[in-house]
Amino acid sequence: MDALWLRANVIKTVRDFFWERGFLEVETPLLIPANAPEEHINPIITLPSWQLQTSPEICMKRLLCSGHQKLFQISRCWRSNERGSRHLSEFTMLEWYRAGCDYQTLMTDCEELLQYVAASCRPDSHCFVRNSAQISPFTPWQRITVQEAFLRFGQVDVWDCLRKGLYEDILTAVIEPALAGFGSPVILMDYPVELAALARVKPDNRDLAERFELYVGGLELANGFSELNDPHEQRRRFEEANCSRRNAGEEELPLPEPFLHTLATMPESAGIALGVDRLVMLTAGVDTIDEVVAFTPEEL
């Protein structure tokens, strides 16, 4: 099938999935005064005090604060200077949020969503494809902690890698290729707290955050967590991110103040972001993001 038809079909299927489950589809502003400051994410700043969203999370969490229980949004996001075989500076993100739940519920959502998309968009095989390998969302998914993955696939300690600045190298050169060998999606969970700017820490282990990443065929597809709703801790983490940015010679970013002011009223909740372009890549079985968009920036 033509890639654009497949793309449209995947997006429609995702939308059907959430509508059937009673989620409210929302549209929040794409141009905002402040994103959540992160050490390694650079927003595109269009006007002196306005940025394009790097994710809709700030606005969606404010909707949780005003009482909405189940929300989803499919929107464009922008991150400066990100371009590779799996990255575009402008890309399409699916985010969904649930009040009264933690990250375990989101993992179940992921299982159901991927099964729903595979069954509807790959009616013959019910499988996704990455590097010619078939990945079935219908065989049981493994859930592996980050530390377990580093020990098992890299024979290294994740804390040690973080200290030595080797975390990204090991993750992309060793762990992700190992995850590509699984015939079903894999969930990598319980990240060191320093890698989870907006996630809640685990009640029984203050060094870990309730964050997980979904991998399909070794491709990182989604990132979800139990949301932090402590405004003081959230402000401290934003300031820490800005401090790291300053030390790395990056500009500091403004804080989303209205979000911080309402955060105390946010119920216990969980939220997740999933790369729609990558979901289309996996459904189409293609290697690069270029093959699933109407135009790449280089073609404009």
Partner 1 sequence: MYTVADLKKGLKIILDGDPYLVVAFDFVKPGKGQALYRTKMRNMINGSLLDRTYRSGESFEPASMEERTMEYLYKEGEHYTFMDQQTYEQVVMEEETLGDAKNYLLENLKVEVMLFGEKAIGISLPNFVNLRVSATEPWAKGDTSGNDSKPATVETGYVLRVPPFIEEGELIVIDTRTGEYSTRVKG
Residues that bind partner 1 (CB under 8 A): 38-41, 81-87, 167-169, 171-172, 176, 195-197, 213, 220, 223, 248-249
Closest by Cα among 220, 221, 225, 222 to 208 = 225
What is the pairing mode between strands 219-226 and 70-78?
unpaired
d(Cα 112, Cα 135) in Å, to the nearest integer?
15
Q: Which two tokens stand for residue 34?
A: 């402040």
Q: For the CB of residue 2, give the shortest distance to partner 1 in the complex, in Å.
A: 26
d(Cα 32, Cα 51) in Å, to the nearest integer?
5
DSSP summary character for residue 273:
E
Given the complex with partner 1, which of 66 and 81 has the nearer CB atom? 81
Q: For the CB of residue 138, give the shortest distance to partner 1 in the complex, in Å.
A: 25
Q: For the CB of residue 83, give the shortest distance to partner 1 in the complex, in Å.
A: 6
Classify 256 as helix, strand or coil.
Answer: coil
d(Cα 205, Cα 230) in Å, to the nearest integer?
17
Q: What is the dihedral of CA 225, 10, 179, 77, to 10 degrees?
A: -50
Given the complex with partner 1, which of 40 and 152 has the nearer CB atom? 40
The DSSP H or E segment spanning 90 is: strand 90-99
Q: For the CB of residue 40, give the shortest distance to partner 1 in the complex, in Å.
A: 5
Given the complex with partner 1, which of 91 and 116 has the nearer CB atom? 91
Given the complex with partner 1, which of 117 and 197 has the nearer CB atom? 197
Q: Annotate 215-253 with three-state secondary structure.
A: EECCEEEEEEEEECCCHHHHHHHHHHHHHHHHHCCCCCC
Q: For the CB of residue 250, give the shortest distance to partner 1 in the complex, in Å.
A: 8
The DSSP H or E segment spanning 284 is: helix 276-284
Given the complex with partner 1, which of 49 and 81 has the nearer CB atom? 81
Given the complex with partner 1, which of 78 and 116 has the nearer CB atom? 78
Classify 134 as helix, strand or coil.
Answer: strand
Given the complex with partner 1, which of 59 and 188 has the nearer CB atom? 188
Q: Residue 7: what residue type?
A: R
Q: What angle do CA 30, 35, 36 make, to 5 degrees?
A: 145
Q: For the CB of residue 8, give the shortest distance to partner 1 in the complex, in Å.
A: 26
Given the complex with partner 1, which of 223 and 242 has the nearer CB atom? 223
d(Cα 159, Cα 150) in Å, to the nearest integer?
10
Q: For the CB of residue 211, give the shortest distance to partner 1 in the complex, in Å.
A: 8
Q: For the CB of residue 131, give the shortest distance to partner 1 in the complex, in Å.
A: 14
